Amino acid sequence: SCGELSSDGQLHPTRRRKLSSSLDNTEPLTSPHTAEARVLVINTGGTIGMTLHDNVLAPKANAFVKSLRKLPILHDEMYAQQTSLYHYYGENSLVLPSNKDSKRIVYTIMEYNPLLDSSNMTTDDWGRFGKDIEKNYESYDGFVILHGTDTMAYTASALSFMCEHLGKPIILTGSQVPIYEIRNDGRDNLLGALLIAGQFVIPEVGLYFHHTLYRGNRVTKVDTASFNAFSSPNLAPLATAEVDILINWDTVWRANTTAKFRVSTELNRNVGLLRLFPGITAATVRAFLQAPMQGVVLETYGSGNAPDNRKDLLEELKKATDSGVIIINCTQCLRGTVSTSYATGKVLIDAGLIAGGDMTPEAALSKLSYVLAKKDLDLEAKKKMMSQNLRGEMRSDFAGAKLCLSDSRFIQIIAKSLSISCKEVSALQPFLIKIGDVEALEALKEMGSNLSLGDYDGRTPLHVACCEGNLKAVQYLLSQGATVYAKDRYGATPLANAVHFRHKEVVRLLRKTGAHFSRDELDEAGTELCSLSTSGDLESLEIWSLAGADLTKPGYDGQNAIQVAQSVGKNEVVAFLVRLMSNRTKVKQIGVAHGSPQL
C-alpha cells in the first residue's frame, strides 16, 4: 500500500527503499528525492544579477546559477552529488542546505533571455511569467520570480489579478545590490523567498524584501537605495522573517472557490495613470483621456479630492466616463483610502469616477488592464468588478471589526473549561468534521477561526474531511479557501487520504478544484496500482485513475498494473484498465515533469 494506516487513523507513508547506488547510469526505481519541496525560480533580470560594464549596471546572462553554486547558504553541493540532483532535476537545479526539520528545498532556475532591467518590462512580459507558471504549476510547490525592483510592484499587482484561483505561493524578489558583490541584499532576499515558497502554502502573489513578505498588490517602491525598499502602507505584512518565519495567517488571502487555477494572460494596454496637480489644464486632461484610452487611474489629493471650482476639468472627466472610459479615483497619499467626506470628493462621483478605496495606483492600473481585457463582460460588469475587492487589493469591510473568537462568551467558557486559549478552540475543527457538524464549523469560521491550519502533525481540517469522506464538509472547506496542497507531517495530501479511504465523490471534487498527487505520491503509485491489480480491486483502481495516477507507471519490480494482471491471468482487470486508460485519453491527463521546467 502507499501508506500504512496507524491506530490514530492517519496515513503514514511506507518507508521508502534506500538508494543503493547512484553511480551507474540506470535510473534507480525509487528516487532519493523524497520529502523535498520543489520551487521554480524564474529569473527575469534586475539588479540581483547585474554586473558593472562601462560604469553602469546591466544584467549578465548565464552567470547566476554558477555563482549560486559557490554559495554554501544557497546550495549544498555535497548533497547534490550524493543524490544525483542534476540527473533528476536538470543542470540548473540547486538545493538549499537542510533546515531545522531537515526538509530540503530543491530549486530550479529558469533564466530568461534577455534578462531585463525591470524598467524595460511591458505587459507582454507579465503574460510570459503567467504562462510559464501555468505550464509548470503542478510540478512545483511554489514559485519565486527574480525581478528588478523598479517595476516589481506593478508586476506583482498584475500577476495577482492574472492568477485566478491561485493555490500556491508565487513570490517576487530581487535586490538593491547585485549578488556578485561582497555586501548585498540579494542572498538574503532569495533565501527568504525560497524558504517561504517551499515551506508554506500561502496562495498569494507576494513580494519578499528585507525580511518581510508583503501582499504583492499592496506594495510600492519607496526608496531608491535602502535595502528596505518597499512599503505596504495599507496592509500589514503577510510574514516576517526574524528569528522565526512568522506567517500572519489571518491576513493571508484565499480564493474561496472550488475552481481550478488558471492564468488570464490577456491584458489591455490602453490604460494610464494621471496625477492631478494644482493648475493642471483641461487641455492636458482632454489629451490624456482621448481614444484609444479605455481606463485611467486618476491620482487625486488627500481622501480622493479634486477642485470643485474647475468646471472645465470636471466636464472633461464626465465626457470621458460618458463615452465609456473607466476612471478610478485613487489618492496620491501613501496611506489611507478615498472617501466622500468633502464636496471636492463628491464632484468626482458625479463625474462618473469609481472609488478606488485604499488601492495603490500600481494595483488599480494593473487591475484595469486585467478587467478591461475580459471579452465576455459588458462595461457595467467591468465597472462593478473594478469597485470590488478581487484579490485583497482593497479593503472591503469598512463596516467595522469582525467578531473574533475571544468575543464569544460561549467560546470563552469552552476554552476555560479545557484550559486552552480562545484561539486554540480552533483545534476543535477536526473533531467537528469527524462528527460531521458543518454548521458548528461555519460558526467557528465566522468567529475568525482559520480553517486551513494544520494540527501538530500538519493535518488540516480538509485532511480529516477527506479521510471521513464527508463531502459536505469538503465542499464547505473548499468554499472557504482551504488549501488542497497542504501536506501533513508524513507528506500526505488530502487527495491521497480520500483515495486511500475510497471516497470517490470527494476525489472528483478535489480534482475539479485542481488537487493533484504530490511527487512522492506519484512515485509510489506504481507499486500501489500493481497490488490493487493483483487483488482485483477494480473500484480502487478506478479511484486512483480518477485522482490522476498514471496507470502505466511501473511498480518496484519494473512491471506495471496491466502487466501484473496479465501475468496472474486476471483478464477482467486487464480489460478494465485498458478501458480506464482509453477513457482518460479523452480527458486531459495530469502529467508530472521530472527534470527541467517546461519552457
Positions touching ligand ASN (CB under 6 A) are 46-47, 117-119, 148-150, 174, 176
Beta strand segments in 176-251, E: 205-209, 212-215, 220-221, 230-231, 239-241, 245-247
| Residue with the CB atom nearest ligand ASN in the bound state | 148
Return the number of the residue (187 or 489) whose C-beta is nearest ligand ASN.
Answer: 187
Q: To 5 degrees, how large is the angle CA 253–CA 257–CA 263?
A: 80
Return the number of the residue (36 or 185) whose C-beta is nearest ligand ASN.
Answer: 185
Whole-number minimum distance, CB 145 to ligand ASN, in Å?
12
CA trace torsion 453, 459, 461, 464 (10° rounding): 180
Cell numbers that stand for 476 in this block: 464547505
Selection from 355, 348, 336 nearest residue 307 by Cα: 348
CA distances from 321 to 289, 318, 326, 475 (A): 9, 5, 6, 41
Whole-number minimum distance, CB 209 to ligand ASN, in Å?
10
Whole-number minimum distance, CB 153 to ligand ASN, in Å?
11
Residue 323's contacts (CB-CB under 8 Å, 6 or more residues apart) are: none
Return the number of the residue (227 or 342) whose C-beta is nearest ligand ASN.
Answer: 227
- Are 22 and 32 in contact by the 8 Å Cβ rule? The answer is yes
Return the number of the residue (178 or 304) whose C-beta is nearest ligand ASN.
Answer: 178
> Is 360 known as a binding-site position?
no
Cell numbers that stand for 223 in this block: 526608496
CA distances from 277 to 67, 355, 539 (A): 47, 19, 70
Question: Dihedral sign, CA of 331, 335, 338, 340?
Answer: negative
Cell numbers that stand for 423 in this block: 484561539
User: Which residues, in sequence order, are bridge partners of residue 38?
Assistant: 106
Whole-number minimum distance, CB 268 to ligand ASN, in Å?
24
Please tell me whether residue 95 adopts helix, strand or coil conformation: strand
Return the number of the residue (226 or 567) whose C-beta is nearest ligand ASN.
Answer: 226
Q: How far is 370 from 261, CA to CA, in rounded Å?
A: 16
With b for 16 or more beta-carbon neighbours within 10 A and e for fewer, the 553-592 pattern comes to: bbbeeebbbbbbbbeeebeebbebbeebeeebeeeeebeb
Block residue for cell numbers 513570490 = 171
Whole-number minimum distance, CB 46 to ligand ASN, in Å?
4
Q: C-alpha 365: how far from its chain's center?
A: 21
Of residues 44, 149, 220, 331, which has the active-site annotation?
149
Whole-number minimum distance, CB 252 to ligand ASN, in Å?
26
> Is 118 known as a binding-site position?
yes
Return the number of the residue (154 or 544) whose C-beta is nearest ligand ASN.
Answer: 154
Please tell me whether residue 407 adopts helix, strand or coil conformation: helix
CA distances from 517 to 29, 133, 243, 396 (A): 19, 18, 33, 35
Q: How far is 54 from 15, CA to CA, in rounded Å?
A: 57
Q: How far is 8 from 279, CA to CA, in rounded Å?
A: 73
User: Does 292 sit behind a cis peptide bond, omega within 30 degrees of 0 on the bond before it?
Assistant: yes
Annotation says 149 is catalytic: yes
> Is 149 known as a binding-site position?
yes
Largest CA distance in the chain: 90
Whole-number minimum distance, CB 149 to ligand ASN, in Å?
4
Whole-number minimum distance, CB 173 to ligand ASN, in Å?
10
Return the number of the residue (148 or 216) whose C-beta is nearest ligand ASN.
Answer: 148
Return the number of the residue (157 or 460) whose C-beta is nearest ligand ASN.
Answer: 157
Annotated binding site: 118, 149-150
Annotated binding site for substrate: 118, 149-150
Catalytic residues: 149
